[in-house]
Structure 1
Amino acid sequence: MKQAIKRFALTAMGLFVAFAAIAQVTTASISGFVKDTKGDPVMGAVVKATHTPSGTVYYVSTQNNGQYYIPGMKIGSQYQIEASCMGFATTKITDVTLSLGDEAKFDFELKEEAVNLGEIVVTAEINPAINSNRTGAQEIFTKDRMSRIPTINRSLSDFTKLTPMSSGSNFAGTSYRYNNVTVDGASFNNSFGLASSLGASGIEPISLEAIEQIQVMIAPYDVRNGAFTGGAINSVTKSGNNKWEGSAYFYTKSPSTRGYIQKDEIIAVTDFFSRQYGATLSGPIIKNKLFFFVNAEFDRQEVPNSWRPRANKTAPVTGYYSAADVETLDEIVQLLKDNFNYNPGTYNVTSTPTEADKVTARLDWNINQKNKLSFKYFYLKSFDTQNPSPSGAMSNGRGPNSYAIPFSSAYYRRNNNFNIFIAELNTIVNSKMSNSLTVGYSRLRDYREMDGGFFPEVNIGDGTASKNSLTTFGTEANSYGNKLDSDIYQIQDNFIINLNKHQLTFGTQSDYRMFVNGYANSYAGQWQFASLADFKTDLLAYQAWKNAGSNPNSIPGTTALYYKQTYSMTDDGKFPYAEVNVMSLGFYAQDKWSIKDNLKVTLGLRMDLPIFMTDLPKNDLVAGLTFQDGRKIDVSKYPSAKPMISPRVGFNWDVFSNKKLQVRGGSGLFSGTPPYVWLSNQAGNNGILFASTTAKNHAFDGVTELAKPTGATLPKANIAITDPDFKYPQLWKTNLAVDYKFGNGWVATAEVLYNKDINAIYHRDINHPNMDDATKVTKLGGADQRPYFIDNTLNDQTYDVILMTNSSEGYSIYSTLQLQRNFTSGPLDGLYLNASYTFGEAKSVTDGSSSVASSSYKYRPAINPDAEELGFSAGSFPQRLLVQGSYRREWGPNFATSIGLVYQMYMPFRYSYAYNGDINNDSYSYNDLMYIPATKDQIRIKPASGDTRTADQIWAEMDSFFDQDPYLKTRRGKYSERNGGMAPYVHSLDFNIAHDLIMKQANGKSHTIRFSFDVYNFLNLLNQDWGVQQTTVLGNQQYQYLIMTEKPSASNNYTPAFSTALDSNKKVITDTFKDSISSSSRWTMMFGIKYMFN
């Protein structure tokens, strides 16, 4: 049966390749009616649209009701549209600008040519808010608007974040992992799920200089838009025309363009730089026929790091100085050199390098008036350098931060390279039929490099009860063998038929993805020691054992907090890679029904069919085990193909038929794709490719002596499995909006959007016993009555067994009030203003913050780790105020100045209150949500070893801390919620100014030199006390205020004891937040110079 499905899928794919690519819409269209002065339709009139810069011509004849429709048009300005018919005067509309995905409506009234009237010329007036094609929430950024928006990073996210319902790269509370980012129809999102942008390096994959327009859609009810449940970010590149145009540019940031004084405190000045330079060229190859555009850009950066080790153990931890000290770090260097001949690198990492080379090339061919063909090519070669991952570390991560300073050997380099090819053919068959075809291929290669060699990652703590990290050295635990090869074939075809009031669309959006993924946590080994003293003690024990040849456990030493070694199970012992091939077939049909001239209803149905094309090996030993709820698993089987049906309806009503009052909205299902890395987890974590040894409180038996265990009949492994009933992500979106245009040009909008999960993704460990098994599960004693595992494992033959399944618990609801105006005449000509206020909330079962199944599970703070507990989404924000303004003024023929301002009031991040230990004995620390006692009798207090405070003193400090915290004081006697904590609101102002020197020539050509300054956190530039963000005194993701000083056990009636964490100076924590010294709290300026000719 499976082979039959594969044959069907491959056959279908082959057929559609012949005429079809995964893409969002990359063009614009126009429609309308041609009537005479009596209001009667003019049949057979010719409507002609000419893109003046390129000479590209589109034309159709009107149908018997006078209606016309021209699809597949280049986006941009300087269009001229005319309607003509024998016996009537020709009417022209000039100065038309078409936006991405737009269907602009232009109606013509032709006058009889009884008298020679000549041509009738009308100037177009288009408002992006009042648009008959608009139903759901969306935002359009043209190249002119983008040029006036502050962009300190010159990235797409600098613009997409200005969408009212966004929070960073999340839209309406839905994680960025479920976005679909396309450029010219090519998939530019990281579909594998390793990063928020294409590739794992986090580099902006395309130059802004190559982008013509950006469209952000959150709820588009056109069924051609698919493969997302978050937001669809659709961009189109610039194209050539009949004029030779070009540019050369240089943008830079350096120590002299960043603030270093914050509230009278001097922050460490680091020697860093950021340089971005490149050039564009475009023009005609054959006039009116064939055009080209090319951009090449180069990024060179040294990303600064302000954290420094303090001079010695008694020096204060303040400002940018960490608790890690130079004396201790130097001692570690010497220990490693003396005992292992290993150099851990430097601890003075003041900056880390990032590089990127980018090329965008495009050809546009006007084959004839009915066929337009374009080719696009994208190239990227890049890398960035990352700090060691905090995943699995002791409290407060591995640094660099106020607690820990890692050595350079623990850093790693992420490489991201790609080549992407896209071809698009737009055809007008006749006045009723048209077709749009896109085909593409993407070749992506991501891999990691390390400077640490093949040496275990060693994490050493500060020796306190909080178990804070102090330093880390060795091969980063997640990086050895880490690579991803992606080959993606994409197809899409849209066939449109116009039948008077009905515009019918039939199409496919399909792709075939082949992934080769390598990942093994702790392949070089991983150790954690509570303190340097423990490390030294065990090191001496190891040396004594090595010299005497005796059992290391017989020599006095201290056990390590944690030890893990992953090894290959292949016959040849080489590092194995998992292969996953997935095909997604999408088919849809849609009717845009113009019920009246002022009322359009869109009815659509979409079907997406994911098919797994990979044969996996079977693990007979695991298949014979029984897991939670009596479940049997087979790691060789992915879920069977299940069609995802997505009906949608949208409407747009021009209430008074005068484009003054518009009511719009819709409702429907949206199906997306999961991060494919989660699906690959089953292929890589099946107990066949890898196995591992994991232990807590493990005797140190040698850093370099770790080896694959021998003689094991069933090596233990972490298992990842996909629920046989698993479905791709799907949610229900519903929105309603009202737009009103005032007589003076202001447009007011009120919009509400509701999302409801149908098939969200979450993970649980099915090797845990059922909660009703009294022999293995009890409850904690005291006020905290959460489940406690007496025995947390059903099968000792495996470690965790993580099941990926679905949940329908999550939801989000957001409302936006918006006011905007683009001044096009009068003394304020060139001024654009846009203000919006958005409020709401988003809740989910999990954020899915990791690429590894076990990490997605164990780093989800919860009360019952295997239940579908609803918490706040990481992207949930209660309110956000956004104000944008820009203005351009020409000072005669040779000078022009533009300014842009963006003000935001927003909440920068959410966090959870969790314990620093494993309070429920599920084998995972830091994932147990905190219970906040209302009174002293609701918590058992026991000072940590060496703590001279009494229980009464600790309670008084604890009680005071709870009451000063705006969130915790509302949760007294209750559990904290996942992501319940909110950072204080930030008021930020970013500023851009550009000045043009224009030199015009007699032949009409011009040369322009533009000087620009973009300033991030402009308020901080004005006053060092303004614009300062706050961060938590403890970790930003999980605030571990209560530390466990005695574990639950039968002897204490399963009632743990607690004390309070101390700050990096070992002082009592009295406030939740402190001022952040990160770059986000200081002003940064980017200077640019750009030369342009046309």
Structure 2
Amino acid sequence: MKTFLRSFALIVALLGISVSLSAQVTTASIGGTVTDGKNEPLAGATVKATHVPSGTVYYVSSQVNGKFNISGMRIGGPYTIEITFVGFNPERITNVSLALGEEATFNVVMKEDSATLDDVVIVGERNPIISSNRTGAQEIITRDKMDRMPTINRSLTDFTKLTPMSSGNNFAGTSYRFNNVTVDGASFNNSFGLSSSLGASGTEPISLEAIEQIQVMIAPYDVRNGSFTGAGINSVTKSGTNEWKGSAYWYMKSPSLEGTRQKDVKVPRGDFEENHYGVSIGGPIIKNKLFFFLNGEMDRLSNPVNYRPRPDKNTPTEGTNYSIADEKTLGELAAFLQENFNYNPGTYNVSNTPTQADRITARLDWNINSKNTLSVKYFYLKSFNTNRPSTSGAMPNGRGANKYAIPFSSSYYRTNNNFNIIMADLNTTINDRMSNTLKVGFSALRDYRDMDGGFFPEVNIGDGSSTGGKSTAFTTFGTEANSYNNMLNSDIYQIQDNFTWIVGDHQLTFGTQSDYRSFKNGFANSFAGQWKYDSIEQFYEDARAHLDWVAAGSNPATRPTSNASYYKQVYNASGKEGFPFAETSVLTLGFYVQDKWTITPKFNLTLGLRADIPIFTSSLEHNPIFDGVVFAGGRTIDTAKLPSTKVLISPRVGFNWDVLGNRTLQVRGGTGIFTGTPPYVWISNQAGNNGMLFANVPTKYAFSGEAVMPAPTDGRPAKASIAITDPDFKYPQLWKSNIAVDYKFGNGWIATAEVLYNKDINAIYHVDINHPNLDRSWVRELNGPDNRPYFLNNKLNSEAYDVIMMTNTSKGYSIYTTLQLQKDFIDGPLKGLYVNGSYTFGTSKSVTDGSSSVASSAYKYRPAVNPDADELGYSAGSFPDRILLQVAYRKEYAKCMASSIGVVYQRYMPFRYSYTYNGDVNNDSYAFNDLVYVPKSMDDIRIVKKAGDLRTNEQIWAELQRFILQDPYLKKHRGEYTERNGAKAPYVNQVDLNFTQDFFVQMKNGKRNTIRFSFDIQNFLNLLNKDWGVQQTTVLGNQQYQFLEMTEKPSAANNWTPGFTFPLNNGERLSSTFEDYISSSSRWSMQFGVKYMFN
């Protein structure tokens, strides 16, 4: 660490200026031209911009060509801009508001011999769409919009979804994992990649009350913006001013504020509560000089668990929130564990799960002098939430709680997420042509898991419904397989600097970037053991075999082996005491140069070149067992070797054309390369899964309840699943291009048409290089229409189970078009009305979604025909089209009241899914990842019944045929393989509504004291009618849908043709793909808030 700090300091000293990869632009700027009445430039005119609330003043003089530019300005306003020149009448522009990242343009014509001082109120600049510096796709959400639109979860996502090209947290089809979320330049995305943002699930890393503006950038061609291939989500906090402002607020949800009816189903009210408390205050410490802002907030939530076990097996479940799992069977299982293993698995009647968060945002702003301003921000979070057992590696239909399965409370776990972040930035105006912005920051992120019930193996028990495939889940107990000693310490150091130099018609920007990230990760899947049994009887049989062996004297020579369907347990193979942790670190340097060239007053061109240089500084352990071992493609591996240093070049060009010269018709666009970062957990996988820290327990003995296994003493070498990174691996890169037209008409209406195209250059996917090449003798094709590769031997080498390599592919693309119409009514009879409607359509294809943080899971949960080929499929975030309508209206009346209503309507597709087999059809050792071949006729499928099935093969085919014909996707793709994420869930029509009522007192000094009551209603349509707003989901799971079960593996005996059946679903014929989603998202719910404000 000391060596790094010395090296880092030397780099900074040599370069003079540095910038962080994760930092984005957090200020605004103004520019323009000063001319006289003859359109001649005026050199030396004084431009003074005053931020009225804080008294912050910015000065600059116009250049020889009359141009001026002021950067590093506070966002928001109002500003007053004054232009003076000897012999000319002063010009004054008032009520200017600046958006985040905006460069507002003011072309001023000075008048001679006039005794009148002109007052010009600028209102058009409040909407930064028609702006000379706008090129690519982006959305800006102001504080005013945040106050007027519904926010059901009080999260950034409630507002980023107002971006037309968004789908959940995915943008233009690109996965949320490749977004970059920053607040005041500090990284607020979970760069390690364990979640989409910082903070525990169900909580937010920062209070909405502390946010002034949010900016979503999908294709910004300004090279200062980087570290993402999805979207840059950039927020700026509130700051103090000369006026004292404060608030105290409480927002709550409760069962009485949630609907219980969806169509004919009445759902009992959940047992939960949700409360958010907070205070904010800001004001001057020294007027016009030093200001502060402070926000503190607490979340106290308990989330409902919708499903309960039914009392007994005879109790019907249809139309209820009862699960098929019953209390009698679960109670007997709990008694068995307590009596024979002295283990209490906890309760099976979990009604709610608690979540808690405490957060602080603090900010100081110092106007040092007219040329320098300093801002320091501090962010604090302490949070946890309680999670149901993970669905990763679960039996069909997950681990519950759901309509099929009920887990015991011992399998739940808590994630604790805490952080301390500090950022400081210095904005300096050097002279009329030069300015500089410097940022430095440090983040300490601490995440860990804990749970109740002590350590005990995780046991998954099925319902006994299958003999050839996999049983449906019934219950789970024990320590969640991924949670034993699961922790992560992340430290991030960042420095940023932008130097701007105005040279004639050129605005030049020079910058360099550096950040250093170190991670200490504790993770070992199945360290406490993970077991799967197809039925509870199978578990009892296995456990009793062990108990009988103990009762007989525990002779090692006669220890019984297990009958479990699946068993995995790893042990500490490092030879060191304690639990081994994986430690990785990376230093990323960046350099860029940019020229914003105003070629004519109507047309500007932005040319930029950016270079990102990741340098891995970790020292990993070498595993000698793989020396000389050859894997697929002739590859050899070295577990100590991370990718070599590579320079990643990102050229960009953007343009903006004011066609008519009056800012009514604007053509804009650009093209360029964007370099992001991988989720660093995928890099850390190599450090933690190298065969030197952990290895698999080699022998599957009958269930003993042992949670920690010692290393074997028989001298056998450790054998493990290995994660490795391709030595030629490159950080993700995406080529983005867009073209757009904005047209302003009819007193403020703005119509936009925009097309965005993305093409992968270096996308990421995982491949198992311990699988044999397809041309090897132990790989053959299946016979029949489904002739996919079949692995006669699925491991090339016995030294490891699987060897998952992270590598690159250039396959993948997306194209989206948005048509948008909007207006903010700032005067006239409709003053206070805001309307914004958009229609977006397109598609996105990728090789993988990267849905898991574990290398082996990222590989095995990617549905494919050939699991080791970079097959193109639909991205999880791909959406065919989306309608988004936003309407807000606010009206003051009676001199003491104001009412506001905000509505968001969306018509969208909630998710995509894949049709896969229930079973390992290609013998790659992974079930559920083989895409289905859809038979055209009975000749295309070999039907093999399960034992006890009384149907004839013809009856089974008839039922399968009916199912295929009722499903639009399957019907369309008969005689073909299904596609990854090819199937689409039914569209959702959702209306969310916000209503606020203000009561205020106008003070003599012009200030107000206000009490605000707010109501945020999710799924407002369901409140109006129980049959409306009901979502649908898939009957058999919403990621991988298994309607065909393999009952006989391919072999020479059956001519290499697997046998399948169309199984019963819990004793019933599967006749429909979808069913109504019994969930709170299908019913209306309301958040009530009370807020006191003074200003």
TM-score range relative to shorter protein: over 0.9
Residues 1:822 and 2:821 are matched in the alignment: no
Q: Structure 1 residues 943 and 431 mapped into 2: Cα distance closer, same or farther (>3 Å)? A: same
Contact 1:284/1:291 (8 A) holds in 2: yes
Q: Deviations along 1:602-630, whole A, 9 cap, x unmatched? A: 00000000000011111111233111111
The corresponding residue for 2:572 is 568
The corresponding residue for 1:339 is 340
User: SS of 2:569's equivalent?
Assistant: strand
Q: Cα offset for 1:703?
A: 2.3
Contact 2:199/2:383 (8 A) holds in 1: no
Q: What pairs with 1:116-127 in structure 2 (closer than 5 Å)?
A: 116-126=115-125, 127=127
Q: Deviations along 1:34-72, whole A, 9 cap, x unmatched? A: 111111111100001001111010010000011000000
Contact 1:17/1:439 (8 A) holds in 2: no
Q: Cα offset for 1:1048?
A: 1.6
CA distance in 1, matches of 2:995, 2:442: 39
The corresponding residue for 2:508 is 504
Q: Structure 1 residues 251 and 5 mapped into 2: Cα distance closer, same or farther (>3 Å)? A: closer
Q: Which amino acid aligns with 1:765?
A: D
Contact 1:201/1:416 (8 A) holds in 2: no
The corresponding residue for 2:275 is 275
Query: Which of 972, 976, 986 lines up with 1:974 in the alignment?
Result: 976
CA distance in 1, matches of 2:557, 2:1033: 44
User: SS of 2:579's equivalent?
Assistant: coil
The corresponding residue for 2:520 is 516
Q: Deviations along 1:955-1010, whole A, 9 cap, x unmatched? A: 00101101100111111011111001110000000000001101011122220000
CA distance in 2, matches of 1:268, 1:614: 53
Q: Which amino acid aligns with 1:688?
A: M
Q: Structure 1 residues 648 and 780 mapped into 2: Cα distance closer, same or farther (>3 Å)? A: same
Q: Structure 1 residues 893 and 1054 mapped into 2: Cα distance closer, same or farther (>3 Å)? A: same
Moved more, 446-455 or 511-520: 446-455
Q: What pairs with 1:512-661 in structure 2 (closer than 5 Å)?
A: 512-549=516-553, 559-661=563-665
The corresponding residue for 1:761 is 764
Q: Which runs of 5+ in 2 are unaligned?
A: none
Contact 2:730/2:762 (8 A) holds in 1: yes
Residues 1:208 and 2:200 are matched in the alignment: no
The corresponding residue for 1:43 is 43
Q: What pairs with 1:698-737 in structure 2 (closer than 5 Å)?
A: 700-704=702-706, 706-737=709-740
Q: Which runs of 5+ in 1 are unaligned?
A: none
Q: Structure 1 residues 631 and 556 mapped into 2: Cα distance closer, same or farther (>3 Å)? A: closer
Q: Cα offset for 1:557?
A: 8.7
Q: Which amino acid aligns with 2:473?
A: S
Q: Which amino acid aligns with 1:837?
A: Y
Q: Structure 1 residues 19 and 616 mapped into 2: Cα distance closer, same or farther (>3 Å)? A: closer
Contact 2:460/2:473 (8 A) holds in 1: yes
Contact 2:277/2:297 (8 A) holds in 1: yes
Residues 1:1059 and 2:1058 are matched in the alignment: no
Q: Cα offset for 1:478?
A: 0.3
Q: Cα offset for 1:78?
A: 1.3
Moved more, 20-29 or 552-561: 552-561
Q: Cα offset for 1:16?
A: 5.4
Q: Cα offset for 1:712?
A: 3.2
Residues 1:180 and 2:154 are matched in the alignment: no
Q: Deviations along 1:745-776, whole A, 9 cap, x unmatched? A: 211100000000000000000011111002x1
Q: Deviations along 1:849-869, whole A, 9 cap, x unmatched? A: 000111100110111000000
User: SS of 1:560's equivalent?
Assistant: coil
Q: Which amino acid aligns with 1:876?
A: S
Q: Cα offset for 1:9?
A: 6.2
CA distance in 2, matches of 1:910, 1:164: 19
User: SS of 2:963's equivalent?
Assistant: helix
Q: Which amino acid aligns with 1:974?
A: E
Q: Structure 1 residues 700 and 768 mapped into 2: Cα distance closer, same or farther (>3 Å)? A: same
CA distance in 1, matches of 2:349, 2:933: 40
The corresponding residue for 1:109 is 109
Moved more, 704-713 or 34-43: 704-713
Q: Deviations along 1:586-605, whole A, 9 cap, x unmatched? A: 11000000000010100000
CA distance in 2, matches of 1:99, 1:555: 71
- The two structures have a TM-score, normalised by structure 2, of 0.98
Q: Cα offset for 1:1056?
A: 1.2
Contact 2:838/2:884 (8 A) holds in 1: yes
Contact 2:94/2:121 (8 A) holds in 1: yes
CA distance in 2, matches of 1:806, 1:396: 32
Q: Deviations along 1:382-420, whole A, 9 cap, x unmatched? A: 000111011111111111111111000000000000000
Contact 1:1000/1:1007 (8 A) holds in 2: yes
- The two structures have a TM-score, normalised by structure 1, of 0.98
CA distance in 2, matches of 1:43, 1:834: 42
Contact 1:515/1:580 (8 A) holds in 2: yes
Q: Structure 1 residues 275 and 15 mapped into 2: Cα distance closer, same or farther (>3 Å)? A: farther
The corresponding residue for 1:1048 is 1050
The corresponding residue for 2:389 is 388
Q: Deviations along 1:875-907, whole A, 9 cap, x unmatched? A: 000000000000010113211111000000000
The corresponding residue for 1:76 is 76
Residues 1:1005 and 2:1007 are matched in the alignment: yes
Contact 1:932/1:973 (8 A) holds in 2: yes
CA distance in 1, matches of 2:670, 2:73: 26
Contact 2:95/2:121 (8 A) holds in 1: no
CA distance in 1, matches of 2:975, 2:476: 38
Q: What pairs with 1:725-874 in structure 2 (closer than 5 Å)?
A: 725-774=728-777, 776-874=778-876
The corresponding residue for 2:24 is 24
Contact 1:94/1:124 (8 A) holds in 2: no
User: SS of 2:385's equivalent?
Assistant: strand
The corresponding residue for 1:481 is 485
CA distance in 2, matches of 1:87, 1:271: 75
Moved more, 703-712 or 971-980: 703-712
Contact 1:639/1:724 (8 A) holds in 2: yes
Q: Cα offset for 1:6?
A: 11
The corresponding residue for 1:233 is 233
Residues 1:355 and 2:356 are matched in the alignment: yes
Contact 1:498/1:504 (8 A) holds in 2: yes
CA distance in 1, matches of 2:394, 2:129: 49
Q: What pairs with 1:293-308 in structure 2 (closer than 5 Å)?
A: 293-308=293-308
Q: Cα offset for 1:306?
A: 0.9
Contact 2:372/2:428 (8 A) holds in 1: yes
Q: Deviations along 1:631-660, whole A, 9 cap, x unmatched? A: 110010111100000000000000000111
Contact 1:148/1:992 (8 A) holds in 2: yes
The corresponding residue for 2:404 is 403
Contact 1:77/1:95 (8 A) holds in 2: yes
Identity of aligned residues (%): 64
Report the RMSD for the aligned CA atoms in angstroms: 1.6
Q: Deviations along 1:1010-1054, whole A, 9 cap, x unmatched? A: 000000000000001100000000011100110111122222122
User: SS of 1:316's equivalent?
Assistant: coil
Contact 2:612/2:675 (8 A) holds in 1: yes
The corresponding residue for 2:54 is 54
CA distance in 1, matches of 2:1058, 2:415: 42
The corresponding residue for 1:491 is 495
The corresponding residue for 1:431 is 432
Q: Structure 1 residues 17 and 686 mapped into 2: Cα distance closer, same or farther (>3 Å)? A: farther
CA distance in 1, matches of 2:594, 2:909: 40
Q: Deviations along 1:436-494, whole A, 9 cap, x unmatched? A: 00000000000000113111000000101241110000000000011110000011100
Q: Cα offset for 1:510?
A: 1.8
Moved more, 776-785 or 1016-1025: 776-785
The corresponding residue for 1:467 is 471
Q: Structure 1 residues 550 and 286 mapped into 2: Cα distance closer, same or farther (>3 Å)? A: closer
Q: Structure 1 residues 169 and 591 mapped into 2: Cα distance closer, same or farther (>3 Å)? A: same
CA distance in 1, matches of 2:352, 2:475: 18
CA distance in 2, matches of 1:167, 1:586: 30
Q: Deviations along 1:197-234, whole A, 9 cap, x unmatched? A: 11454521000000000000000000000000000000
